[in-house]
Structure 1
Amino acid sequence: MLTADRMGRGCLGASLHPLGAALLSVTVMMAALCAPLQAHAAGVRFYGDVLLSRGVERFVQDEGGQPVRQALAPFLALDRVNVANLEGSVGAACSPGRQPCFPIRAGMLDLLDGFDVLSLENNHALDSGASGIERTADGLRRRGIVALTRKASSVTLETGTGTLAVVSATDVVNVAGDWQHLMAADDPELPAEVRRLKRTGTAVAVYVHWGRELIAAPTERMRALARRYVAAGADVVVGTHPHVPGAAACVDGKPVVWSLGNFLFDQKFDATKKGALLDCEIKSGKLSCRLIGHETPRGSYLPVTAVGDPFAAENAVLAACAPPVNPSWTGRFGRSPKTKRLVQVPEGGGGVMSRLELYDLETGRREARTPPMPIRKVQPVDVNGDGIKEVMLIQEVFSSLDREVAKRVYLYSFDGAFHALWRGSALSRPLLDAQFVSRRKKKPVLVALHRDEAFLKRRRGTDRRTVMEYRWNGFGFTGSAEKAAPSKATGLRERNGTLSFVWDQ
């Protein structure tokens, strides 16, 4: 499993291994443009309901915020897009007629560092009135977190395995007038948005607040809504609101989890202290999802990992419900101003070989197709700053330079015809991973993680790592800024403008 510890995430900087002081020298080198809709992660994690008022707020007033951050950190995987449902809104007082009510002190939003997307589509989003939901959304955005509201109920994130779209809605309100500020679960705009996102992206998730409190079983209405979303093109449907975890189902070939229960909450019923997160990733051309259990001990509000596998039965259902999904990216890949769709298609069995295909989004016509290649990573990137995307691939191939099969960087263009701009070696040293990062008003920079050894003088099995920058000069890459990296690091992940290390555990 890929893991990394999180030591803060701003618009500029790097998330660091606990060897923080030793790694501060790489912070400037790895600084990148803060781009909230970019998330070069390996997958997505959906969490249940999050509360920042009432008992949780009192706990923070007494104990401080650090215990909460420490409790959440093991769940908030760095190589995932982390999505949750935030109950309540920023404000000092409740609007009339709202009980229970969850007003949130603005400073409490600091505890949400590590989440990437938070849905405000729920029955407590307007607890502080219409202005409260706007204050909440603004506060989240200032912290680099995408807020899903009626005005912006979906987001598309570009990940390391293609694009992921999340669409949020609610089937529950506390005051009838709230509907004008929220995306209703049965709004005809919702399936239309799912269809639009599916035409242009890899996978679409519907994250919906529905059901009955404290009842895990789905209602017939929930089943009907799930079928509607799947028919529109949703690849996975995830529910919140009942405050207890529900079962998993395979609806017309797509995974559905009726309820994740609570994640961070103050409810005291035993059933409300058990919850789950849904972890999804694209593996070998399929969407693979599994539930990870957590529980909140009595007398505590902080979740801990559950003992054993409390969702073994549900995970068996999800394992048998893995729909085919081909990673894809959109953009300009040639002189034409039209947006095209680049798709990675598996070739044969075993997930070893795949090919790239380029499609016209308007006509659906395939315009280019590569031969099968051993592709380990795909990243579209505009290396020349001309508005046209090239494609960086990491391929695992043989080279006479080191006389072994290893990862190597290649750069291709679809402008005119598919052709190689650079057929690289592993750059300056044996390669572990590489990632282009954007720089404000500058051309992107390739950051590569290497084993700290030279091709001519190998130290096989070394734990030492180094990270280097490379700039595209029109003909090849020029290396610079070599720095030490954490021992045992195996990869790089960029999310929200932050580049971080991941490693095997």
Structure 2
Amino acid sequence: MRRKFVVATSLVGALALASGACSSGSGSSEAKGDAGDQKKSTGASPSAEPPAAAKQPITLAFGGDTHFEGPLRARLSSPATALGPIAKTLRAADLSMVNLETAITTGGTPAPGKEFTFRAPASALTALRASGVDVTSMANNHGMDFMAPGLRDSMKAIKRTGFPTVGIGRNAAEAYRAHRVTVKGNRLAIVGATQVLDDHLIAAWTATDAKGGLASAKDEPRMVQAVQEARKGADLVIVHLHWGAELKSCPLPRQQDLAKRLIKAGADVVVGGHAHVPLGGGFLAGKYVHYGLGNFVFSSAQGQTANSGVLVLRVENAKVTAAKWKPARISGGLPRLMTGPAAKTELARWNSLRRCTGLAARP
């Protein structure tokens, strides 16, 4: 297992330092460090700025929609093994991310008019960390399934566990704020937002200056602003979106339009999910876009919705230089990497999904 080494500042830091007020803040922490990321003495005076760490090539891993409903709930009793064998793949990357499609609460009232509502205890965040996940987005159409009380519980859990979480906050500034982390000399900024919200819940769920909620990609000018702010001081900007149409394997025009706008604003990687099936991915104007990662840890996955995988991107000199899809099949709610002829067949099918995306296979 290759250890991952990062230095981070994010909403988690703001929450950890807050004293109950709703004003934003920032903090930093050292985690999983190795000699390549540690500051070394150069003989310079104490007041001199330390030299920037040399950028080393890194790998980023992305998994799709994740929750802990049904039989998956019991797996939280052992957080270190909750995600099963796929954790080895997540830990092998320098930074891994999934979409946490659930409210983090054991109380609250289910959102009115929703057929499915998901929730999980705070141990879900512990399980993600133990499985090699470094950051998650809660900006999706289940992140506030238990309304304002569930949001308050989610924010408390994020603060208590210190787990990097984007796309959610006590106000718009927090919800749209980038999680910033330095990995092997690469300064990353990660933003999360959702383009999918039930019409009757948009007002209640969208974060504003006056109330908490989720970052909404329906407000495209605000998303452009978030990316532009993330761009400042970052070598690589990652935007994680909840978008698309369920069970549709080609991107919607609004997805393609938004991807172009965000790349123009400064995004280097745009990834996301929601469709419950994988969509295609590839390069657009030298940047990487993936329109749908499918289900990942998902109790109800079966048939076509059990097709899954891990997207692995290689970053060199602040650019994505290669992309690899590792196909998986969900069994018992957990993704398991495919091997042999079955994996080759599924990879070929996934590559064929690029035909309707307007994306290129190479930079």
Is the structural similarity TM-score above 0.5? yes
Aligned to 2:48: none
| Aligned residue type for 2:333 | Y
Q: Is the counterpart of residue 85 in structure 1 residue 99 in structure 2?
A: yes
1:359-438 to 2 correspondence within 5 Å? none
Distance 2:268 2:33 in 1: 20
Distance 1:115 1:59 in 2: 16
Distance 1:256 1:50 in 2: 20
> What SS does structure 2 have at the residue aligned with 1:57?
helix
Q: Is the counterpart of residue 215 in structure 1 residue 233 in structure 2?
A: no
Q: Which has the higher strand share?
A: 1
Aligned to 2:46: none
Aligned to 1:75: 89
Inter-CA distance 95–115: structure 2 relative to 1 (3 Å threshold): same
Question: What is the RMSD of the two structures over their aligned residues, measured on CA atoms?
Answer: 3.1
1:99-498 to 2 correspondence within 5 Å? 99-113=115-129, 114-148=132-166, 149-150=168-169, 151-153=174-176, 154-174=178-198, 175-176=201-202, 177-180=204-207, 181-187=213-219, 188-283=221-316, 286-288=319-321, 289-297=323-331, 300-307=332-339, 308-309=343-344, 310-312=346-348, 320-322=361-363
| Aligned residue type for 2:261 | R
Inter-CA distance 66–287: structure 2 relative to 1 (3 Å threshold): closer
Query: Is the 2:279–2:350 contact (alpha carbons within 8 Å) kept by the matching residues of 1?
Result: no
| Aligned residue type for 1:293 | P
Residue 227 (structure 1) shift:
0.9
| Aligned residue type for 2:325 | L
> What SS does structure 1 have at the residue aligned with 2:206?
helix
| Aligned residue type for 2:63 | Y
Query: Is the 2:3–2:32 contact (alpha carbons within 8 Å) kept by the matching residues of 1?
Result: no
Greater relative contact order (Cα < 8 A, sep 6+): 2
Query: Is the 1:137–1:147 contact (alpha carbons within 8 Å) kept by the matching residues of 2?
Result: no
Aligned-residue sequence identity (percent) comes to 27
Residue 46 (structure 1) shift:
1.6
Residue 179 (structure 1) shift:
2.0
Inter-CA distance 197–34: structure 2 relative to 1 (3 Å threshold): closer
> What SS does structure 2 have at the residue aligned with 1:167?
strand
Residue 240 (structure 1) shift:
0.9
Aligned to 1:4: 2
Distance 2:250 2:73 in 1: 30
Residue 207 (structure 1) shift:
0.6
Task: Tell me the TM-score normalized by structure 1.
Answer: 0.52
Matching residue within 11, 36, 57 for 2:73: 57
> What SS does structure 2 have at the residue aligned with 1:165?
strand
Per mean C-alpha deviation after superposition, the further-off stretch among 253-262 and 175-184 is 175-184
Query: Is the 2:195–2:217 contact (alpha carbons within 8 Å) kept by the matching residues of 1?
Result: yes
Residue 67 (structure 1) shift:
4.7
Query: Is the 1:216–1:244 contact (alpha carbons within 8 Å) kept by the matching residues of 2?
Result: yes
> What SS does structure 1 have at the residue aligned with 2:246?
coil
> What SS does structure 2 have at the residue aligned with 1:311?
helix
Distance 1:294 1:312 in 2: 13
Runs of 4+ in 1 over 4 A off after TM superposition: 36-41, 58-61, 64-67, 312-320
| Aligned residue type for 1:157 | V
Structure 1 unaligned segments of length 5 or more: list them. Answer: 10-32, 323-505
How many residue pairs were aligned?
Answer: 292
| Aligned residue type for 2:206 | W
Distance 1:96 1:200 in 2: 39
Report which of the two structures shows the higher radius of gyration computed on alpha carbons: 1
Distance 1:319 1:227 in 2: 14
Distance 2:60 2:92 in 1: 10
> What SS does structure 2 have at the residue aligned with 1:217?
coil
Residue 158 (structure 1) shift:
0.8
Structure 2 unaligned segments of length 5 or more: list them. Answer: 7-27, 38-55, 208-212
Query: Is the 2:125–2:163 contact (alpha carbons within 8 Å) kept by the matching residues of 1?
Result: no
Query: Is the 2:302–2:330 contact (alpha carbons within 8 Å) kept by the matching residues of 1?
Result: no
Task: Tell me the TM-score normalized by structure 2.
Answer: 0.71
